[in-house]
């Protein structure tokens, strides 16, 4: 009986991880990467500007 309890622990952890993963992935469809990519593009443009005097 004790062995079944020890096997139940990873099974419950796997089910919990699957539920959390599906919940975390559902918010990804609503939110796009647009703002993050726009911010990165602004960062790259700022870093590529030539600085006079340095």
Query: Between 29 and 51, where is the model more confident?
Result: 51
Q: What is the pTM of this model?
A: 0.48
What is the torsion angle, in degrees rounded to the nearest 10, for the CA atoms of residue 17, residue 21, residue 41 and residue 50?
Answer: 0
pLDDT above 90 covers a percentage of the chain that reads 43
Assign 17 a pLDDT band (cuts: 50, 70, 90). very high
- Report CA 8 to chain centroid distance, whole Å: 28
Outline where 1-54 has alpha helix (H): 2-30, 34-48
User: Which pLDDT belongs to residue 8?
Assistant: 96
């Amino acid at each position: 009986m004790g062995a079944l309890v020890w096997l139940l622990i990873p099974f419950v952890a796997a089910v919990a991880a699957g539920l959390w993963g599906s919940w975390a992935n559902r918010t990804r469809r609503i939110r796009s990467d647009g703002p993050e990519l726009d911010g990165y593009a602004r960062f790259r443009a700022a870093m590529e500007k030539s600085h006079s005097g340095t």
